[in-house]
A and B are shown apart, each in its own frame.
Chain A
Amino acid sequence: MALTGLEIYKQLPKKNCGECGVPTCLAFAMALASGKAALDSCPYVTEAARENLDSAAAPPIKAIKFGKDSVLGDETVLFRHDKTFYHPTTLLIHVSDSLSDDELNAKIQEIKGLEFERVGLQYSIDGVAVVQESGDAARYAKVAATVAEATDKSLLLLSNDVVALKAALEPLASRKPLIGSATADNYEAVVNLAKDNSVPVIIKAEGLEALEELVTKAQALGYKEFVLDPGSRTTVNTLENLTQFRRLAIKKKFRPFGFPVITFTSNQDPMEEIMEATVYVAKYASAVVLKTSKKAHLLPLMTLRQNIYTDPQKPIQVEPKLHSVGNVDENSPFYITTNFSLTYYSVEGEVETSKIPSYILPIDTDGTSVLTAYAAGKFEPEKIVEAMNASGIADKVKHRNIIIPGYVAVISGKLSELSGWKVVVGPRESSGIVSFSKTLS
């Protein structure tokens, strides 16, 4: 979190010598606070002050990177309406090394299929948690290698046996897996293993007190690429812990908990498991390890994640220009909608399914839905006509029909008057477009 000029000023030498390029220490502090200067320009700052400023300027929750582009942590607020949440919860699928080879391959295939496309967005599963349950170190290393071979997704290697963990990790270190877990019993060995291989490590203890102690000890080993696990395995306790971690890190800048948090589901029924995971996704988990890997289960969870982690300040928008679907010609139907990405892609998807090449013109409504735009006066006939003129649609088609969303049927009279085109009121929901399109000729 950024420091204020005054907080920085307190740490400066107060010589007002001007060597930093601005006349006073206070002016320099202000320049630092707004990011316009670098601390190095002052030759007189003490080592202690430099450390204080560095650590105070460090983010409240450290960013931990692992695997293929997975970033955990680095969040700055408690509520998304305060600003936004930045790093969507990393979702990892639990794969046990006690599976048979056939089961393992089937599971890997299922995981690889967890790629989705909806309303113009791509969702894909982040990674695999390879968990040792077999008690056989060689088997564990083999399963980890098989998973790593089969997919380039992020990996979490989880075992209580340091020897097994080491054997699995070393050949895969270049994939930068997250490893775990370091507990009170084994933390020296596990943290050093992580340190030697430059990979992040899960620090696990039962409860916040024990965890704080263990993090402090682990840090004393000269490493801090940590992810926390408070050991809770019920929904309500995990929610409580997640909330405490986030509050302590952000409101209190409590350094031992300035790390991302990983959670594990406990419900056995896969649908109940998804419900449990939704709580963790909504409330601050940086990673969730799940057992189910069915598409039908993951799509709702990943959609919630996408929703919670979109920036509340700016809706996702598409370019408000004429789009064409398929091989359009002068007879192609002409649809209008809004430039809210969700709205646009709901429509585009259906138009595509209709198999009739068509034009779609999203009106610039500042990225709002049809009725929101209409209620806010952003979907007015005047504006639509202007957008039509700018798009050159009149030269592209020889018919003069505009298809409008069913929810704004009320604008048809005025729109037809202003444009001179015939207004056709389409269905309300985009799902009606396919059958509606069959009535066009």
Chain B
Amino acid sequence: MSVALVKEKYSSKVGEVVLGATAEQGGTRTHTITVGGDSALPFLHFEGETKNRPVIAMEVTDVVPSWNDLIKNQIGDVINNPAAWAKKCVDDFGADLIYLKLDGANPEGENRSPEDCARIVKEVLAAVGVPLVVEGCDNAEKNNEIMAVIAEAAAGENLLIGIAEQDNYKSIAAAAMVHKHTLIARSPLDINICKQLNILIHEMGLPLNKIVIDPTVAGLGFGIEYVYSIMERARLGALANDKMLSMPIICTVGYEANRCKEAYATVAEFPGWGDLEDRGVLWEAVTASGVLQVGASILVMRNPAAVALVQKNIADLMGK
């Protein structure tokens, strides 16, 4: 008897989304990045194509973040200059994309004006050639204000902007549509809400290939198992031709992983957990690995050492 391999035949694949725009396309990026397009479960090259390898967007914030020193020290002095920081991520750490988080817009913090935010976006665009992901702060109302201005100021750049949520998607979806950007649609760990939101955004007129989904993730040890199964179901749905689930997925891995105590508590506090240096890096990298196995296309990450590990893991999985 010989072994008849089981190769699944799927009726569809994950949609492809292009991020960024070059000069010919109306933007200023040196190149675009395409995500999605997989026609099988992640990295199963024997039955389908992983057309575009997963990419890493490194997180840059407009105010100096309160991240732990092991991360901040790797970033160095540029941490108070978003443009220089972004450049370092691309040049030194090999980031595929920059994820710019405008925490400074928060009315409870710096309360930065929309124009100020737009200026920072432009500075970062000028500093790097890679496409940009731009998200606002923790205040939905303020985000609508700043995103409208940013979308216009960066018209044609095909930014990936976020976030659209079930009870707050119209204004940002409109901004994406009018100024030709791509949109992040976030749902709270719920397949039905995820689909529903995609339908609503699509009904407004945004094409499906201009949407990336954020299913909401959790850190290692803090609920990642729920994320894992929801993403796995979404990927199976996409392959089974559920068009409203077939967008590429973005995961805010760095944010979630570094909220976990294991990523920042020192060995003095928890002697049983081993040295923080490697533990902190792995906490973020293993969170990333978990979501990679269930179909993440864009990983938003913080710790440069974790980024290096995940780049190697992706290369291993691509068979390179």
Contacts and interface: CB of A to CB of B under 8 A. Distances in A.
A221 interface: no
Contact of B293 (A209, A282, A306): A282
Given A80-B228, A272-B309, A296-B276, A304 B286 contact: yes
Contacts of B236: 79
Interface in A415-430: 429
Interface in B227-259: 228-229, 232-233, 236, 259
Given A234-B319, A236-B43, A312 B273 contact: no
Interface in A267-317: 267, 271-272, 274-276, 278-279, 282-283, 294-301, 303-304, 306-308, 310, 312
Contacts of A236: 43, 45, 316-319
A375 interface: yes
Interface in B61-85: none
Interface stretch (B15-23, B26-34, B92-100, B216-224): B216-224
A236 B310 CA distance: 14
Nearest to A121: B221
Contacts of A254: 3
Contact of B6 (A79, A248, A267, A297): A248
Contacts of B225: 80, 307-308, 310, 312
Interface stretch (B120-128, B149-157, B277-285): B277-285
A283 B282 CA distance: 19
A80 B231 CA distance: 12
A55 interface: no
Contacts of A297: 274, 278-279, 282
Contacts of A252: 4, 6
A435 to B, nearest CB: 13
B319 A296 contact: no
Nearest to B8: A247
B44 A271 contact: no
B233 A81 contact: yes
B282 A118 contact: no
B2 A235 contact: no
A304 B310 CA distance: 16
B262 A312 contact: no
A431 B279 contact: no
A249 to B, nearest CB: 10
Contacts of A237: 319
A212 interface: yes
Nearest to B263: A300
Contacts of B222: 342
B9 interface: no
Contacts, number: 162
B228 A307 contact: yes
B43 A79 contact: no
B209 interface: no
A235 B228 contact: no
A296 B3 contact: no
Contact of A300 (B275, B279, B316): B279
Nearest to B279: A296
Given A81-B233, A236-B317, A244-B5, A299 B273 contact: yes
Interface in A222-255: 234-237, 239-240, 243-244, 247-248, 251-252, 254
A101 B156 CA distance: 67
B127 to A, nearest CB: 30
Interface string B168-208: 00000000000000000000100000000000000000000
Contacts of A342: 221-223
B1 interface: yes
B313 A276 contact: yes
Chain B residues touching A, majority SS: helix
A119 B223 CA distance: 12
Contacts of A119: 221
A209 B229 CA distance: 32
Interface in A96-149: 115-119
A239 B221 contact: no
A239 B44 contact: yes
Nearest to A81: B229
A234 B274 contact: no
Contacts of A267: 312, 316
A81 B232 CA distance: 8
A411 interface: no
A300 B293 contact: no
A304 B218 CA distance: 12
A279 B1 CA distance: 30
A441 to B, nearest CB: 24
A298 to B, nearest CB: 8
A369 interface: yes
Nearest to A235: B316
Contact of B312 (A240, A243, A272): A272
A326 to B, nearest CB: 19
Given A236-B318, A303-B221, A295 B310 contact: no
Given A275-B286, A279-B293, A296-B278, 14 more contacts: A80-B228, A235-B316, A240-B45, A256-B3, A275-B309, A275-B312, A276-B316, A279-B313, A294-B274, A297-B278, A300-B283, A308-B228, A312-B226, A342-B221
Interface of B: 1-6, 41, 43-46, 188, 220-226, 228-229, 232-233, 236, 259, 261-262, 265, 272-279, 281-283, 285-286, 289-290, 293, 309-310, 312-313, 316-319
